[in-house]
Amino acid sequence: SSGVTVAAVDLGASSGRVVVGRVGGADGGGVGLEVVHRFANDPVRLPDGLHWDLLGLFSEVLVGLRLAAAHAPASVGIDSWAVDYGLLRGGRLLGAPYTYRDSRTARGVAAVHARVGREELYARNGLQHLDFNTLFQLATEGPLLGVADTALLVPDLLGHWLGGVRVAERTNASTTGLLGLADGEWDTALCTRLGLPAGVLPPLVDPGERLGPLLGHVRSATGLEDAVDLVAVGSHDTASAVAGTPLSAEGAAYLSLGTWGLVGVETTGPAPLEAARAANLTHERGVDGTFRVLRNVMGTWILSRLLDSWRRAGRDVDLADVLGAAAALPERVAADLPALDVDDPSFTAPDDMAGAVAAWLTARGERVPTEPAATVRMVCEGLAAAYTRVLGDLARVTGRDVPVVHVVGGGARNALVCDLLAARAGVPVVAGPVEATATGNVLVQARALGAFGPDADLATMRAAVRGTEPLRTHHPPVRSAARSRGR
Ligand code: LFR
């Protein structure tokens, strides 16, 4: 089959990018990616809470698509972080969407659990309890929900602004808490029990479905051709990231490492439910009907917030430098540092991350280091320890050994975390691709346009990733078995 060029919009919680991807043709069956536009995604605090600047993001998407237009893509696909949404009435956005780190979510949790208990909820939606899952957010909306006629998750909302369609892409819909684990359809009975109007939930679509042409004013703003279609991808960034991960070994795990660390395995059906619930593992839907059995763990958020604290205190610390210094600490110094419990709730949204880390240490009678390198070492040890615990849980719950872990996303550049993870988990860690999410987005569009042949499965598409992306393997040190694993 011939080569295909597409444009992928990938929005993360701290930055976004527009990527041009080429599959087949001159790239010989591999995937070629070019990031044509990068931009920051900075939440905005207003008196009523913490919001996304979605209009600003949409403008950046248009800028990126204009740059992409020079490469003549045949389609556009959008993915973003999960769970957050906008409410619409008659096509008009009702207020600035909130970010999932806004503290309103706690109220929603209480309201939902007053009507449906945790265990029943898990049996219905299979989700790890996270205070920000969409259903908890919706439960805080009050009268606005009675006014709205449509709720669109962030990538679906941007898709609506690009192409006019109102749909809910299924992989992202699975993070709302309102999608049935068993059937993958909206759980309208659950909505009724929770007093949520199921009518605001739009029809579901699957990755790979063509959603039609772009709106006229979008075509003029970007210079994209009339024939360019919007194509549904794994619109949950984690779904696209895992689609773009070159998993090959049976039982291989992934760590999609960006703002969050998503540690899991890909399965064809739900894990044994009671064990999965006890281990606080989630079930999210992936491309081609797969499931991601995983846990949300802290990711690089804690590091970027630490740098922010230090910067505001007048101390400019470069991430690559401080990671290098943290890795170079003498073994006996490093061995004396405690591993931070990175999932402590005090690290979720503190105003000052350095202060939060110091408070955590002080409360445990630990010394607060003065050097950033020591703090960063404790964080990276803590991250690696947390990921290793999840790998153990996954093996136990699924009954399969994990022979290798693929680290993808921006965090794949963090060689210290990769090394520490290999050491603690005792298995090889394969790092890359950094742009796994954009890769997965591109692959699904390219298949929809015929780049792989209609029957190509994930394995076929992943083989194309292995062919073009240089991957780096971190091996466990020979003496890893002797390391103290408990810290
Ligand atoms: C990763 C991610 C996670 C989701 C979190 C919040 O970017 O999408 O999968 O749990 O962000 O949406």
Rounded-to-integer distance, Cα 455 and Cα 448, Å: 10
Residues 6+ apart with CB under 8 A from 195: 115
Question: What does the mean pLDDT of the chain come to?
Answer: 95
- Amino acid in the structure at residue 2: S
Q: What is the pLDDT of residue 28?
A: 63
SS3 of 215, please? Answer: coil
Using the atom order of ligand 1, give the atom closest to the CA of residue 236. 8
Could you tell me where the DSSP H helices lie in 114-215? Answer: 118-125, 134-138, 144-147, 154-163, 170-173, 188-194
Residue among 80, 260, 390 whose CB has most ligand 1 atoms within 8 A, to mutate = 260
13 touches ligand 1 (CB under 6 Å): yes
133 touches ligand 1 (CB under 6 Å): no
CA dist 56 to 52, 149, 181, Å? Answer: 9, 24, 34
**How far, in Å, from the CA of 296 to the mean position of ligand 1?**
8
301 touches ligand 1 (CB under 6 Å): no
**How far, in Å, from the CA of 134 to the mean position of ligand 1?**
12
**How far, in Å, from the CA of 14 to the mean position of ligand 1?**
11
The residue contributing the CA closest to ligand 1 atom 9 is 238
Judged against a pLDDT cut of 70, whether residue 483 lies above it is answered with no
The residue contributing the CA closest to ligand 1 atom 11 is 81
100 touches ligand 1 (CB under 6 Å): yes
Mean pLDDT (whole number) for 135-160? 97
Residue 480: pLDDT band (50, 70, 90) is very low
Using the atom order of ligand 1, give the atom closest to the CA of residue 80. 8
Rounded-to-integer distance, Cα 152 and Cα 138, Å: 12
- Phi first, then psi, for residue 82 (nearest 5°) are -95, -170
Determine if residue 288 is left, alpha or beta; phi over 0 gives left, psi from -120 to 50 gives alpha, anything else beta.
left
The residue contributing the CA closest to ligand 1 atom 4 is 82
Express each pLDDT in 74-83 by its tens digit: 999 999 999 9
Q: What is the pLDDT of residue 478?
A: 83
What is the complex's ipTM, to 2 decimals?
0.98
Q: What is the pLDDT of residue 455?
A: 85
Could you tell me where the DSSP H helices lie in 364-482? Answer: 372-398, 415-425, 436-448, 458-468
237 touches ligand 1 (CB under 6 Å): yes
Q: What is the pLDDT of residue 468?
A: 80
Express each pLDDT in 156-190 by its tens digit: 999 999 999 999 999 999 999 999 999 999 999 99
Using the atom order of ligand 1, give the atom closest to the CA of residue 12. 7
Express each pLDDT in 442-463 by its tens digit: 999 999 999 998 789 999 999 9
**How far, in Å, from the CA of 207 to the mean position of ligand 1?**
18
Whole-number percent of the chain with pLDDT over 90: 93
Using the atom order of ligand 1, give the atom closest to the CA of residue 132. 6
CA dist 197 to 73, 136, 155, Å? Answer: 38, 14, 21
Using the atom order of ligand 1, give the atom closest to the CA of residue 83. 12
Q: What is the pLDDT of residue 29?
A: 65
Express each pLDDT in 244-282 by its tens digit: 999 989 999 999 999 999 999 999 999 999 999 999 999
Asked if 257 contacts 408 with a C-beta cutoff of 8 angstroms, the reply is yes
**How far, in Å, from the CA of 238 to the mean position of ligand 1?**
7
**How far, in Å, from the CA of 484 to the mean position of ligand 1?**
31
Express each pLDDT in 97-110 by its tens digit: 999 999 999 999 99
259 touches ligand 1 (CB under 6 Å): yes
Asked if 132 contacts 76 with a C-beta cutoff of 8 angstroms, the reply is no
Residue among 237, 295, 390, 408 whose CB has most ligand 1 atoms within 8 A, to mutate = 237
The residue contributing the CA closest to ligand 1 atom 12 is 82
Using the atom order of ligand 1, give the atom closest to the CA of residue 256. 1
441 touches ligand 1 (CB under 6 Å): no
Judged against a pLDDT cut of 90, whether residue 414 lies above it is answered with yes
Mean pLDDT (whole number) for 372-379? 98
Residue 51: pLDDT band (50, 70, 90) is very high
**How far, in Å, from the CA of 482 to the mean position of ligand 1?**
35
**How far, in Å, from the CA of 298 to the mean position of ligand 1?**
11
Rounded-to-integer distance, Cα 214 and Cα 393, Å: 44
Active site residues: 237
Using the atom order of ligand 1, give the atom closest to the CA of residue 284. 9
Q: What is the pLDDT of residue 79?
A: 98
11 touches ligand 1 (CB under 6 Å): no
Rounded-to-integer distance, Cα 427 and Cα 249, Å: 12
